[in-house]
Amino acid sequence: MDALMPPCAHGGPAGRAQVRAVPEDFLVRELLGFDADGDGDHVLLRVRKRSANTMWIAKRLAQIGKLHPRDIGFAGLKDRHAVAEQWFSAPLRSAMGERWVEAAEPDFEVLACERHRRKLKRGALRGNEFEILLREFEGDRAVLEQRLADLASAGAPNYFGPQRFGRSGANLEAALAWFSGGSAPGERAQRSFALSAARSALFNCVLARRVRAGAWNVLLEGDIANLDGGGSIFAVDLVDEALRRRCETMDLHPTGPMWGRGGERLGPFEQEVLDAHPLLRDGLVSAGVEAERRALRMVVRDLQWSFAGADLRLRFRLSRGSFATAVLHELIENAFAGEAPESDA
């Protein structure tokens, strides 16, 4: 299925390399896009974690602060394999007050604590910064360098990475079993993961279809476009020179469906993909998920790279919701098949 192993946009992989989930090999830092208020009834906590997922860290912070887990806020989810510096919030009334920098355990440490007026909400991110070390690269270095330059100038398909579908696609399999007449997953979080995997699969299939058609990064008549970095969308009835230029400069992007109820207006290729996967299409509507749109292209910002022998170090920024694996997918073999750490903010 294209959702799990989608085609590359910039040509075949330039080679192969190893990505390991250790601090010196993979680090992701959340970028909030705002500063702490400096006062208020909450504190923002910058936490460095490893070998633990976001939900586990939130529960542990609640225990330390003698709080209910719902009192802990966070902006985005990070995989347990990723070494991440991410933000949480806690009420000032917790048992730790402003002394959170004293909290340190084998799986995490609190690096900073700053007063803030509000609980941190999901999605309150500008993006994520990644530092990735690809070890023992084998392949054509000239092709790799050109591919990196292409990513810096033209972006990459905004695929959902393999983590969205669960280990060996387990979240997607759960959705398919549910929509086939089985029982919905018992826990709310597991239901959410299944629905998210189903929507992400349809999106990846639409994007893969446009990649094969050479149309993932251009506007087509009938597209629904959005402004870079924002949620504003608009229908494209006619692609004039002004719109074409804005798309070329990545000021706006074509979008694909995050399928659900109310998604009747469709862009090019979308109906045929939905019709090819009726179980996912109808199951999402029956589950009551509301339709949304997502950009088909991601901008790879501030991309830097350097070699040390056969090891390649990458550094770049992505907007929230974009996956580092989708960048690696354009560079090395089996990026979608491996267990590379992931951001799902």
Burial (CB count <10 Å: 0-12, 13-18, 19+), residue 288: exposed
CA atoms within 13 A on the CB side of 259: 29
Which pLDDT value is given to residue 21? 57
96 — phi, psi (to 5°)?
-90, -15
What does the alpha-carbon distance between residue 216 and residue 201 come to, in Å, rounded to a whole number? 16
Residue 224: other Cβ atoms inside 10 A: 18
What are the domain boundaries of the chain? Answer: 34-116, 171-298
What does the alpha-carbon distance between residue 326 and residue 13 come to, in Å, rounded to a whole number? 12
Which pLDDT value is given to residue 233? 93
Given a contact cutoff of 8 angstroms between Cβ atoms, the answer to whether 163 and 344 are in contact is yes
Asked whether the predicted pLDDT for residue 274 surpasses 50, the reply is yes
Residues 6+ apart with CB under 8 A from 287: 195, 260
What does the alpha-carbon distance between residue 95 and residue 102 come to, in Å, rounded to a whole number? 12
Which pLDDT value is given to residue 18? 79
- Mean pLDDT, rounded, of the chain: 91
Classify domain 171-298 at the CATH topology level. Pseudouridine synthase (3.30.2340)
DSSP of 244-304, one letter per residue? HHHHHTTSEEEEEEE-SBT-----TTHHHHHHH-HHHHHHHHHTTPBPEEEESEE--EEEE
What does the alpha-carbon distance between residue 234 and residue 38 come to, in Å, rounded to a whole number? 38
Give the single-character DSSP code of 7: P
Which pLDDT value is given to residue 338? 52
Q: Look up residue 47 and give its two tokens.
A: 């936490």
The pLDDT-based confidence of 168 (bands split at 50, 70, 90) is: confident
- H/E stretch holding 305 reads strand 301-308
The pLDDT-based confidence of 22 (bands split at 50, 70, 90) is: low
The pLDDT of 90-103, averaged and rounded, is 94
Given a contact cutoff of 8 angstroms between Cβ atoms, the answer to whether 208 and 7 are in contact is yes
Which pLDDT value is given to residue 341? 44
Residues 6+ apart with CB under 8 A from 161: 323, 324, 325, 326, 336, 342, 344
What does the alpha-carbon distance between residue 193 and residue 46 come to, in Å, rounded to a whole number? 26
The pLDDT-based confidence of 167 (bands split at 50, 70, 90) is: confident
> For residue 16, which amino acid is it?
R
What does the alpha-carbon distance between residue 298 and residue 130 come to, in Å, rounded to a whole number? 14
What does the alpha-carbon distance between residue 278 and residue 258 come to, in Å, rounded to a whole number? 15
Give the single-character DSSP code of 332: B
What does the alpha-carbon distance between residue 230 and residue 227 come to, in Å, rounded to a whole number? 5
Catalytic residues: 79
The pLDDT-based confidence of 343 (bands split at 50, 70, 90) is: very low
The CATH number fitting domain 34-116, selected from 3.30.2350.20, 3.40.250.10, 1.10.3260.10, 1.10.600.10: 3.30.2350.20
Residue with tokens 């354009």: 330
Q: How far is CA 141 from the centre of its chain?
A: 27
Q: Examine domains 34-116 and 171-298 and report if their fold is the same.
A: no
Q: Give the pLDDT confidence of 242-271 residue by residue, as tens digits.
A: 999 999 999 999 999 999 999 889 999 999
Q: Look up residue 115 and give its two tokens.
A: 């007063």
